[in-house]
Chain A
């Protein structure tokens, strides 16, 4: 695995990071080393393995010692009802530049 300077620049652009010249070189070397280490995952045969995308677990109790495998717990979503919110002022108070009820940013549309 070799990470090129162009790879670093492409990823930095995707991540909205403006890197200095020194950072580009530093990260190129370090990412190379880390990705080389990570490449050990390629050794494993995962052809028939389902990816673990679900982080909901059922209770291990009462049969605690025998039912530890993760499985989808019952969905427990709250009722979809309207509730008072009124947080705009508190939220805008933290904005670097607000023009109530908006956040102000550099112009994005040229006419």
Chain B
């Protein structure tokens, strides 16, 4: 239930089918609220009113004609601004794409719209999804609607804030090292990273191609499942998209979790974890036990190497992917006397500090003489981290951990220390490296009323089970434990 608006996927479907409200009225209500609250929160960078109302009208005509409505008919959804939308500006939170209007739409967005969803606009994020606080956006930080002096997490901070503030029923985010789950935890909303290959990346503007995934943030687990059901599945336009059938998750989530073995890795509760976060997550695990799960203690010895591994692989891939921003084909161009000068001037002016830092790191890790010591070694350690998980999943059905070591931090608190900022992803990068699915669900709040996130990870393509655990946890009051 979205406390902020009262609208959920289920309630919009019921109201529209009973003709108590039109899709246009729902969209109008959301835009009015966005106008009031977005100037303070800065969750949206671009509103797509024309596209939204055209879609709402299509839904209303279909309702009037008695046609069958799609599963997300009239549901207002926000889309992170790294996901392409034909005709709607897509900036990636960067000056280098300030005026970029994609000529095509991402598969995930196209599937949402085919299901009847109304795309309200594009949400703020760290530049090219690089960050854990949303402070790396060229268009200003997002404020956490739960505590306005705090960050919403990142990089999908705008998507998480939009859902938490009731400025959308749900949102699409992207997760490379925690960028869906960590902002979900910071803002107190469920947030899911699907298995690598489960949701098409076609139209997702690349940061680190072996890690990037699109997934939903929503007000409750049922809505998360409803969106997953629509966006998951094979897409011939993404060669890494998996040809694995995806179920209707909505039909699966109420299944019993009785007897499931839940692994708790000790490495996720060591140095650096906030004591209140630890206390809440342990209470969450106890609740799962009470619901019939069997707790199994785990050792995952390579966990401590995950951040180092991640920041080599992600930056190396980014240095390659972001080579395309050179002022030639799209986006910003800053003139120069020669072609190389034009490239360099454009990139100097167009990229922000964190993007440059990561391009430097990634280029260094791939450069001649360092490749074996950094990139190749990181790929080997990545295999060890993935093996920790595959061995763990011989013994358990799912793994439960904190999503982030601390609740949302103050704006500006970590901006001068990149390494400290990177450590905000310490519990999320592991699942990213292993390619497995995970969800962050709210798990109570600290004394300061800041949300805590509990992360549930499962084997590849086990989204249904991860959602079942999340749903049982929600139903038993885990979100407000």
Which residues does chain B contribute within 8 Å of A21, judged by CB atoms?
A: none
How many residues of B sit at the interface, in one of the four size bands? 35 or more
Tell me if A64 and B397 are in contact (CB < 8 A). yes
- Mask, B330-363, CB within 8 Å of A = 1, is 1111011111111111011001010011011101
Interface flag for A44 (CB, 8 Å): yes
Task: State A93–B86 Cα separation when bound (angstroms).
Answer: 13
Which residues does chain A contribute within 8 Å of B305, judged by CB atoms?
A: 40-41, 44
Minimum distance in angstroms from A16 CB to a CB of chain B: 5
The 8 closest A-B pairs by CB, nearest first: A68-B459, A51-B379, A96-B333, A68-B393, A18-B344, A90-B103, A69-B390, A52-B383
Given the known inter-chain contacts A55-B196, A55-B197, A106-B338, please indicate yes or no for A46 contacting B319, CB distance below 8 A.
Answer: no
Which residues does chain A contribute within 8 Å of B60, judged by CB atoms?
A: none
Which residues does chain A contribute within 8 Å of B383, judged by CB atoms?
A: 49-52
Tell me if B363 and A14 are in contact (CB < 8 A). yes
Which residues does chain B contribute within 8 Å of A93, judged by CB atoms?
A: 103
- Mask, A7-35, CB within 8 Å of B = 1, is 11011101111111001000100110111
Given the known inter-chain contacts A49-B384, A57-B196, A57-B461, please indicate yes or no for A96 contacting B331, CB distance below 8 A.
Answer: yes
Most central of A11, A27, A49, A68 by chain B CB within 10 Å: A68
Which residues does chain B contribute within 8 Å of A95, judged by CB atoms?
A: 328-330
Task: State A51–B389 Cα separation when bound (angstroms).
Answer: 16
Task: State A94–B102 Cα separation when bound (angstroms).
Answer: 8
Which residues does chain B contribute within 8 Å of A91, judged by CB atoms?
A: 103, 329
- Mask, A69-109, CB within 8 Å of B = 1, is 11001101110000000010011011111000001011010
Interface flag for B364 (CB, 8 Å): yes
Most central of A7, A8, A64 by chain B CB within 10 Å: A64
Given the known inter-chain contacts A49-B384, A108-B339, please indicate yes or no for A41 contacting B377, CB distance below 8 A.
Answer: yes
For the complex with contacts A34-B361, A94-B329, 10 further pairs of A-B residues with Cβ separation under 8 Å are A14-B367, A16-B326, A17-B351, A18-B344, A18-B345, A49-B384, A51-B380, A52-B379, A66-B393, A70-B386
